[in-house]
Amino acid sequence: MVGGLDLTDTRARDHLALSAEGGKCPQRRYFGTDGVRGIVGASLTEELVERLGRAATLWSGRGRALVGRDTRASGPALEAALARGIVDAGGTAVLAGVLPTPAVALLAQDLGLVVSASHNPPEYNGVKVFDREGHKLSDADEVEIEALLDAAGAGGGSIEHAEDAASGYVEHVVEHFGSDLAGLRIAVDCANGAYSDIAPGVFERLGAEVTALANAPDGTNINAACGATDLAMLRSAVTADSFDFGIAFDGDGDRMLAVDADGQMVDGDQILAICALALDVDRVVVTTMTNMGFHRLMDGHGIRVVTTDVGDRYVLEALRAEGGILGGEQSGHVIVLDGHVTGDGLAAALTLCRSLGGRTLSEAAAVMPRFPQAKENVTVAHAVVAPRVAQEVERVNAELDGSGRVLVRPSGTEPLIRVLAEAEREEDAASLCASIAALVRREARDR
């Protein structure tokens, strides 16, 4: 249940298609879908990050905070600002340097803090917060932290360094998710991010022949024409050199996508489908973005699907509430909680490898029929869905009556309205998407 809605019910999902999922809670000024993010020096400043460090530490009880960061040029300065805030609150900042987001969650002490803007371009950065259990915060937790942004600290804190955090994380992931990969040839796109010095070595350790791509971060190239947000380079590499498949991570490592031997993308829905059948789960948690073909496949296998708002933290909340171990998003957040506390791109990639069962990736992905989808991101001044747009979406979805759908939502991290249309025919999906996106633009101009 979310907001009084049973999210396994189709009518509830239709309602959520009109809602502002992915947007900011009205009570929060800084926290969005996944932490606090912005363009460095504009909406995200060192002063704000220091205040966040102080407030989060006060909220947690002035304990020990493990701090990791991705590879952006702004990372060291923002890490220092975060540490100043932690120390001023009387806490201990345990600095781990460059470390994937899921590693920070797994190794979190009284707090886990990550200086990262995930899949966003290099000019962005941000702060993600995990509690002592490695869980992402609830909306209510974030409201409480924001209420402490101007609180005074008692001082007296300290700074320590965790030099071996990455190796401890690797050992855990290999133990819980690794399998024999001998005979596989894999291209691994590290997005010039936090997995650059980690992921290729893990696949090689498990026996695969690996070619690493985008594994030379220079502070300005994270997620730039590479990684899970841009598969063109990986596709070219896989097809040019006859790899079995390719894996792409995003900059902070909390999501991944794949490319089969023919260069075709295998998205989060398909990866979840492959893993759900291989792991023999009885339930899986997804978001409103998930393809209708996934729902049909799960229904055919008697697997219950719980649908939440967009955002991997909502998937995580539902998994914990439902007692499930598998969930995720089409964008590549794949969450396997059997041996973990959050979504982890490397753990997900290893689970996918283990789930192939001797099949090629294209053979495994073919089990899920896919409804054609069309998407468009409309840049707006204010990421709010206009009433006329919501009314038109409601009308169109009623008319489609299950043969397709339209979903409109504000981005929680960028000034965008995201439009998705799904139909049984590709041309119908494209037409629906274009029509609704045009209406979004018109309404934005008239505001």
Report pLDDT for 81: 98
**For residues 141 and 59, is the Cβ–Cβ distance under 8 A?**
yes
The model carries a pTM of 0.86
Q: What kind of fold does domain 33-161 have according to CATH?
A: Alpha-D-Glucose-1,6-Bisphosphate; Chain A, domain 3 (3.40.120)
Q: Which of 104, 125, 118 is nearest to 46 (CA)?
A: 125
Give the total residue count for the chain.
447
Residue with tokens 């505001």: 447
pLDDT in tens, 118-163: 999 999 999 999 999 999 998 899 999 999 999 999 999 999 999 8
The greatest distance separating any two alpha carbons of the chain, rounded to the nearest whole angstrom, comes to 63
**For residues 407 and 288, is the Cβ–Cβ distance under 8 A?**
yes
The pLDDT of residue 18 is above 70: no
Q: What's the rounded Cα separation, in Å, for the pair 185 and 161?
A: 36
Give the confidence band of 411 by pLDDT, cuts at 50, 70, 90.
confident
Report pLDDT for 401: 87
Q: And the tokens for 202? A: 């893990």
Which residue numbers are catalytic? Answer: 118
Q: In CATH, what class is 373-446?
A: alpha beta
Q: And the tokens for 58? A: 């006060």
Q: Is 422 helix (H, G, I), strand (E, B) or coil?
A: strand
The pLDDT of residue 7 is above 90: no
Report pLDDT for 313: 87
Indicate the domain borders of the chain.
Answer: 33-161, 167-365, 373-446
Q: Which of the two residues, 314 and 5, has the higher pLDDT score?
A: 314
Give the confidence band of 310 by pLDDT, cuts at 50, 70, 90.
confident
**For residues 45 and 30, is the Cβ–Cβ distance under 8 A?**
no
Q: And the tokens for 288? A: 């409103």
The pLDDT of residue 164 is above 50: yes
Q: And the tokens for 385? A: 């869905």
The pLDDT of residue 17 is above 50: no
Under 8 Å CB-to-CB from 269, ≥6 apart: which residues? 286, 290, 291, 293, 294, 330, 368, 370
Q: Is 177 helix (H, G, I), strand (E, B) or coil?
A: helix
The pLDDT of residue 27 is above 90: no
Q: Is 269 helix (H, G, I), strand (E, B) or coil?
A: helix
pLDDT in tens, 189-245: 999 999 999 999 999 999 999 999 999 999 999 999 999 999 999 999 999 999 999
CATH of 167-365, one of 3.40.50.2000, 3.40.120.10, 3.30.70.1560, 1.10.150.120: 3.40.120.10
**For residues 426 and 370, is the Cβ–Cβ distance under 8 A?**
no
Q: For the residues 324-353, what does the mean pLDDT come to?
A: 96
The pLDDT of residue 19 is above 60: no
Give the confidence band of 26 by pLDDT, cuts at 50, 70, 90.
low
Query: What is the share, in percent, of the chain residues with pLDDT greater than 90?
Result: 84
**CA angle, residues 110, 343, 269, in degrees to nearest 5:** 160
pLDDT in tens, 40-78: 999 999 999 999 999 999 999 989 999 999 999 999 999
According to DSSP H, which parts of 108-157 are helical?
139-147
Q: For the residues 155-183, what does the mean pLDDT come to?
A: 96
One fold for 33-161 and 167-365: yes
pLDDT in tens, 357-391: 999 999 999 999 999 999 999 999 888 899 999 99
Mean pLDDT for the chain overall: 91
The pLDDT of residue 8 is above 70: no
